[in-house]
Amino acid sequence: MIRFNSDYTEGAHPRILERLMETNLEQTSGYGMDPYCEKARGLIKEKCKNENLDVHFFVGGTQTNLTFISSALRPHQGIVSVDTGHINTHESGAIEATGHKVLAVKGVDGKITAEEVQRVYDEHYNDEVREHTVQPKMVYISNPTEIGTIYSKQELAEISEVSRKNNLILYMDGARLGYGLCAENNDLDLPTIAKLCDAFYIGGTKVGALFGEALVISKEALKEDFRYILKQKGGMLAKGRLLGLQFLTLFEKDLYFEISAHANNMARLIKEACIEKGYPFLTESTTNQQFPILPNKVLEKLKENFEYSFWQKIDEEHCAVRFCTSWATDINDANALVKAIKE
């Protein structure tokens, strides 16, 4: 069986394991106060071209989201997200468990629009209801989205503008950020994201690391006492250097982007095979997740050798499924899938 059902089926990029081996018996301080974390933080700030950022490392994405959101909001404040947003669907109510409502809105191609943000704002901040409703205070977006699409610079700039105008915090979940930044139609980069968002995280778990996410906070007011919340929510890794070492390895020679581009290339092979066969797609994705709509009998056949994720029933004879590639996808495996699709 070859797995295309998720982007975290393997361990880590070999260079990361080597680095762990080399440094294994060194003695360092714990909790992220070691020289490797320090260097990794510096490198990320450099890549973002902004010295005035706070960088914190986490083990996983749900942890990052719940910690950041609960640190940033007062009890009556909520987060606007598209209804397909990860925090709204697949985090077991992690955000609500910290006390905050997710205000779900319909998106377009998995993305929120500036207009929608303004509409939600207006709906809640009017005198008829005001304090009887949750106060929208943060806008949560994922890039790429849960369905593989990406925000353009123009779209992000508009969302950023409407957020700042209304004093809303803009937060980007970048669990697959590498795959987004290396998409063929992408025009965003780290410095732009750091400028337009108040906080975002760079996903490592799905992009080459054993585990790890780097939260970058640019808005000054959100930095205060963050390490307290990190500890309180169980996110402060004792041997924090493990996170520093991984991000150092991923960003030192732009390995992060190199392996992201590879994953996207592998995904394109699968996409092109589907196009060639005339299969439609649920979404127009240019990243490592592809959502073709396939006949059930084709899916039955593929199932013999490949794992994929069921996504959505379309009609009695067709389903949308998800194929994920990653930094680790072997070209031979991708070609095997391509061949199987084309048959």
Range 38-97, binding its own copies (CB under 8 A): 59-64, 66-67, 70-71, 74-76, 78, 89-94, 96-97
How is residue 205 written in tokens? Answer: 């778990």
**Shorter beta-carbon distance to its own copies: residue 78 or 110:** 78
Q: Residue 308 interacts with its own copies (CB under 8 A)?
A: no
Q: Which of 24, 154, 167, 332 binds its own copies (CB under 8 A)?
A: 24
How is residue 170 written in tokens? Answer: 């803009």
How is residue 174 written in tokens? Answer: 């970048």
Q: Residue 301 interacts with its own copies (CB under 8 A)?
A: no
Q: Residue 140 interacts with its own copies (CB under 8 A)?
A: no
Bridge partners for 281 per DSSP: 292
Strands 169-173 and 318-324: unpaired
**Shorter beta-carbon distance to its own copies: residue 96 or 158:** 96
CA-CA distance, 162 to 34, in Å (whole number)?
A: 39
Shortest CB 298 distance to its own copies, Å = 20
In the region spanning residues 208 to 227, those forming contacts with its own copies, defined by CB under 8 A, are 210-211, 225, 227
Shortest CB 270 distance to its own copies, Å = 17
In the region spanning residues 94 to 123, those forming contacts with its own copies, defined by CB under 8 A, are 94, 96-102, 104
Which of 151, 133, 164, 161 lies closest to 82 in space, CA to CA? 151
**Shorter beta-carbon distance to its own copies: residue 135 or 264:** 135
**Shorter beta-carbon distance to its own copies: residue 61 or 156:** 61
Shortest CB 175 distance to its own copies, Å = 9
Q: Residue 332 interacts with its own copies (CB under 8 A)?
A: no
Q: Residue 259 interacts with its own copies (CB under 8 A)?
A: no
How is residue 59 written in tokens? Answer: 């083990």
Shortest CB 229 distance to its own copies, Å = 6
Shortest CB 343 distance to its own copies, Å = 23
Tell me the backbone φ, ψ of residue 196, rounded to 5 degrees: -85, -30
Q: Residue 167 interacts with its own copies (CB under 8 A)?
A: no
Bridge partners for 309 per DSSP: 322
User: How do the residues of the chain divide into helix, strand and coil, expressed in percent and rounded to 5?
Assistant: 40, 20, 40
- b/e 160-170 (16+ beta carbons within 10 angstroms → b): bebbeebebbb
Spatial neighbors of 225 by CB under 8 A, at least 6 apart, are 71
Q: Residue 271 interacts with its own copies (CB under 8 A)?
A: no
